[in-house]
Amino acid sequence: MDETRKGPGFILVIGAAWLLMLFLVLPIFVVIPVSFSPERFLSMPQGELSLRHYRELVDDPTWGRSIRDSFVVALAASGIAIVLGTACAIGCWRLATRFTESVRVFMLTPMIVPPIVHALGMHRVWVELGLIDTLAGLILAHAMKGMPFVVISVSAVLANFDLRLEQAARSLGASPLTAVRLTILPNIWPGVLAGGVFAFAISWDEIVVALFLTQRGVYTLPRRIWDGIQDNISPTVAAIGVILVLATILAVLLKLLWDRWLASRGAAESL
C-alpha cells in the first residue's frame, strides 16, 4: 500500500489535485480586492483602499430590501419543505410498499428537471392562480424545489433507525402521531435539519424561477445581483459577494464541526 502511495504517479495525482483546488477556490476570492477598490467601475485597487462599495450596500435601499425578501422566502420555503418532506419520508419508510418506494423517487423530480422548464410551467399556472409576483407564489415554488433535499436526508437517517422503537411506543399505547413525535423525530432531527439547511440554501441562491415568477413586488437578492451584473457590472456586487463568500465559509466550517460532532455522538451511542 505504502509503496503505491509514494510512487511518482501518485505524487503527480496529488499535485494535480492541489492545482485543481486552486482553480476551484482562488477565483472566488477575487471579489475581496475588487470590493475595496475606490473606483466606480470594476477594478483592482491601486494602493488606495475604499469602503464605498460597502457604503453603497447600506445606502441603496434595494439591497437591504432584496436581502429581506430573500430571507423571508428562503425561511418560509424551507419550513414548508421540512414539514412536507419529513412527513413523506417517514410515511414511505414506515409503510415500505412498492408504491411508496416509487413515491419517494417521484418526489425527487424537482431537483432533476432543468429550472427553465418548471419556471415556464409555473409562470403560466401562477398567473392563473394570481400568485405571480407575490411572496406566497415564490415561497410555494421554492418549497417544491427544496422538498426533495429534505426527503433524501431524512430518508438517509431513517434507513439506520430501528423500526421496533416505533412499534414499542405503539404497543405501550401511543397514538401514531405521538409515536412519531416521541420516538421518530428525536432521532431523525439531524437529517431534518440538514435537509432544511439545504432547502434554505437552494432558495437563497435561486434565480431562474425568481426571474419568471417575480417582477417588482418581490425582489430577491439573486435578482438584485443579476441586475447588478447586467448594468455595467457594478462593483457593489463584489461587496455583497465578499459577505456571501464569508457566510459560505462559516457554513462549511460549521458543517464539518457538525459532522464531527455527529460522528462522536454515534460512537458514544454504539459503545
Partner 1 sequence: MAVAGETVAAPAPPRTRLLGAERVNLVYWALVLVPLVVLVVFYIYPLSRVLLISVTEPRLGFGNYVRIVESTGVRRVIWTTTWICLVTSTLSLVLGYLLAYAILHMRSGWQTWMMVGVLLSFWVSILIRAFAWITLLQTRGLVNNFLLDAGLISQPLALIRNELGVIIGMVHYMVPYAALPLLASMRSIDARLVPAARGLGARPLQGFLYVYLPLSLPGIIAASILVLIFSLGFFVTPALLGGGRVIMLAEYIALQVNETLAWGLGTALASSMLITVFLMLVVLARAVSFRRLFGAA
C-alpha pair distances (Å), 222 with each of 130, 138, 266: 23, 13, 38
* Closer CB to partner 1, 196 or 222, in the complex: 222
Give me the least distance between CB of 1 and partner 1, in Å please.
5
Give me the least distance between CB of 63 and partner 1, in Å please.
14
Give me the least distance between CB of 207 and partner 1, in Å please.
6
Residue 112 has which C-alpha cell?
432533476
Give me the least distance between CB of 241 and partner 1, in Å please.
4
Residue 255 has which C-alpha cell?
458543517
Give me the least distance between CB of 58 and partner 1, in Å please.
19
* Closer CB to partner 1, 38 or 115, in the complex: 115
Cα 20 from chain centre: 24
AA identity, residue 120: L
* Closer CB to partner 1, 58 or 125, in the complex: 125
Q: CA–CA separation, 229 vs 207, rounded Å?
A: 13
Give me the least distance between CB of 61 and partner 1, in Å please.
20
Q: Which residues contact 116 (CB under 8 A, 6 or more apart)?
A: 208
* Closer CB to partner 1, 57 or 152, in the complex: 152
* Closer CB to partner 1, 7 or 217, in the complex: 7
Give me the least distance between CB of 245 and partner 1, in Å please.
6
Do 81 and 147 meet the contact criterion of CB atoms below 8 Å apart? yes
Neighbours of 52 (CB within 10 A): 17
* Closer CB to partner 1, 159 or 271, in the complex: 159
Comparing CA positions, the residue from 87, 261, 271 lying closest to residue 180 is 87
| Start-to-end C-alpha separation, the chain | 31
C-alpha pair distances (Å), 18 with each of 6, 14, 25, 166, 172: 16, 6, 10, 47, 57
* Closer CB to partner 1, 58 or 175, in the complex: 175
Give me the phi and psi of 238, to 5 degrees please: -65, -40
